[in-house]
Chain A
Amino acid sequence: MTHPFRTRLKRDVAGYAFIAPWLIGFVLLTAGPMAVSVYLSGTSWTMLSPPVPVGLANYETILVEDELFVTSLQNTLYYVAFSVPLCLVTSLILAIMLHQRLRGISVFRTIFFLPSITNMVAVSMLWLWVFNPEFGLLNALLELVGIEGPLWLQSETWAKPSLIIMSLWGVGGTMIVFLAALQGIPQELYEAADLDGAGRFRRLIHITLPMISPAMLFNLIIGVIGSFQVFTQAFVMTGTAQPGSEGGPNNATLFVVLYLYKKAFQEFRMGYASALAWILFFLILAVTLVQMRLSKRWVHYEAGER
């Protein structure tokens, strides 16, 4: 009787020993901090004196009174709404271009992929200068075709589009996922379509797009989550040299995470910032769940796959 029990216990102990690093990390770095964050979001705290419980006041202030939060939310939604679809379309076109049997195709793949793994801070410096109204590359090119370019990052209207244009330069990772999906489509499907006399466009609509729809969903969800958390570009590229001026001009690039950063690490209002973090979390969660829900209508899973 004791024998099977003891071997089972031994097995459990050995198993837990192997996963112990993650388990301890989960408690110390995830679950614990989450609990503390819930607590802090119900307090007023600047790290100098003990936290003062305020109930739901932080959430109420953020959602009802805080105009800057509303601005940051609008900015973020604007960025997500334009950057994500544009990036998806661009990366899909690039992937389709790369999915051809051509000599030297890997050179092109390298060129499209490279920007996405370079350093965001350095990339931001580059684009900061590209967008310079007087001496930047973009307006110089526009001048060639007779267009007087806008002030880009210095313009309230064009600051967000600037960052969206820049985000298109970093679609390499998304593109590779699409490319892998394209390469996974069985060739027979196209051959069958050829026999039916389907043209290129119809093959794209009826075979390619349905077949890569799981990759599309993956890229969409990852893209939305990532775009909701846009921070570095806005922090590095906007505002003047003074700390606190990031997110300009006139808060046109104040995104939610940038606002959260300012509250937490410039004003040290840790309770308020924690509440902001939870609001962001539920926002991302809600959008992701809606996407999963809607995906049932357009994502095709091959029967028998996994």
Chain B
Amino acid sequence: MARGSSWQTMTVATSRYVVAYGVLILLSGVFLLPLLWMLSVSVQDVEGVFAQPFRWIPEQPRWENFREAVTMFPFGRYLANTTIITFSVVLLTLLSSSLVAYGFSRMRFRGRNLLFALCLSTMMLPGQVTMIPLYVAFARLGWVDTWYPLIVPALFGSPFYIFLLRQFFLTIPREYDEAAVLDGAGKLRIYWSIILHLARPALATVALFSFVGTWNDFFGPLIYINTPEKATLTLGLQMLKSQIVGTGTVQWHILMAASLLVMLPNVVVFFLAQKHFVKGLQMGGLRG
């Protein structure tokens, strides 16, 4: 009797596990299939791409496709460009947003709450509204076809990151600040050597978001960069596609190989810092 019931609960539990895993594996398959197929196409030869029926695993994987892809468009150049732009933006964003967040969370001054509300409300403004005047202004400055329009705005912080950092700074006990004051530290000193130090997890989250946003940015490079040598990976990939489609000989295996290479840094960064992504999204989602 006792054995029977425990056996029964076991089968119920087991069948629930089987169903749960079954559904999860099925859904994962749906999500992964396009990526696996992309990988497969990227190592086919031209005949393989158009073969009917399609062979998922080619007899001779053509890894040269990746080498061809990086020679068909200046991949190294674009990678370097994107890296320089992204790292500048991330660094400036961290610095400026944390300074402002410190001001909003640790300093008392007249108009603070009003200004903070204003800061938050600008998050709602769609970029299209300011895009044209900014383009015109940058054009007047002679900055079109330079990286300045992509980097310089990071000097001024970003409302969403200011918000995230402020929320985190508020959780840091004031006792740390007070102890530092007793040691004769000024506000800047407290900001630099205490708050920034203790807020490293939040800074990591902001760095990640800023990294992904800048690395993936397409609209900015699209409207500001004209010279191919100055392009970023996203813009370069789009130009490669136009070039390939334009010539009529659609070399999909090369385009897929190139796209995979462009995706790769995101995937690497994601695996290095998965925790921070999830935490950051939760912070933004729950408190926003």
Contacts and interface: CB of A to CB of B under 8 A. Distances in A.
Nearest to B33: A137
A130 B33 CA distance: 10
Given A33-B134, A280-B126, A120 B218 contact: yes
Majority-rule SS of A interface residues: helix
Interface stretch (A54-62, A72-80, A105-113, A152-160): A105-113
Main secondary structure of the interface of B (DSSP, over half): helix
B187 interface: yes
B37 A181 contact: no
A11 interface: yes
Interface string A1-37: 0000000100110111111011111101110111011
Given A119-B216, A137-B37, A140-B54, A100 B20 contact: yes
Instruction: From B187, B222, B259, name the one whose CB has the most chain A CB atoms within 10 angstroms.
Output: B259
Contacts of A220: none
Given A129-B41, A176-B278, A215 B286 contact: yes
A190 interface: no
Contacts of B255: 125, 129
A30 B286 contact: no
A273 B222 CA distance: 17
B281 A18 contact: no
Given A117-B212, A126-B34, A129-B252, A241 B242 contact: yes
A281 interface: yes
B242 A114 contact: no
| Chain A interface residue number, banded | 35 or more
B181 interface: no
Nearest to A277: B128
B128 A32 contact: no
A30 B223 CA distance: 18
Contacts of B234: 119-122
Contact of A36 (B27, B136, B281): B136
B129 interface: yes
A33 B50 CA distance: 50
A47 interface: yes
Nearest to A41: B132
A79 to B, nearest CB: 16
Select the residue from A25, A98, A130, A176 with max chain B CB neighbours within 10 A. A25
Contacts of A240: 245
Contacts of A231: 219
A291 interface: no
A120 B147 CA distance: 21
Contact of A125 (B53, B125, B259, B270): B259
B228 to A, nearest CB: 15
B156 A28 contact: yes
Contacts of A113: 270, 277-278
Nearest to A10: B109
Contacts of A264: 131-132, 135
Contact of B118 (A26, A118, A219): A26
A267 to B, nearest CB: 12
B218 A97 contact: no
B34 A137 contact: yes
A120 B134 contact: no
Interface in B248-277: 252, 255-256, 258-260, 262-263, 266-267, 270-271, 274, 277
Contacts of B278: 109, 113, 176, 180
A14 B99 CA distance: 12
B288 interface: yes
Contacts of A19: 99-100, 103-104, 107, 115
Contact of B23 (A34, A97, A276): A97
B266 A14 contact: no
A163 interface: no
Contact of B157 (A25, A102, A117, A126): A25
B109 A16 contact: yes
Contact of A33 (B110, B137, B157): B137
B112 interface: yes
B184 interface: no
Nearest to A107: B28
Contacts of B136: 36, 40, 47, 270
A7 B93 CA distance: 31
B27 A97 contact: yes
Contacts of B102: 18
A285 B124 CA distance: 8
A126 B282 contact: no
A108 B274 CA distance: 13
A201 interface: no
A144 B218 CA distance: 36
Closest CB pairs A-B (n = 3): A25-B156, A18-B103, A15-B109
11 contacts: A18-B107, A22-B100, A32-B133, A34-B129, A97-B20, A184-B286, A228-B126, A229-B127, A257-B128, A281-B125, A281-B128
Interface of B: 17, 20-21, 23-24, 27-28, 31-35, 37-38, 41, 49-50, 52-54, 96, 99-100, 102-104, 107-110, 112, 115, 118-119, 122, 124-137, 139, 153, 155-157, 159, 162, 187, 191, 212, 215-216, 218-219, 222-223, 233-235, 237-238, 241-242, 245-246, 252, 255-256, 258-260, 262-263, 266-267, 270-271, 274, 277-278, 281-282, 285-286, 288
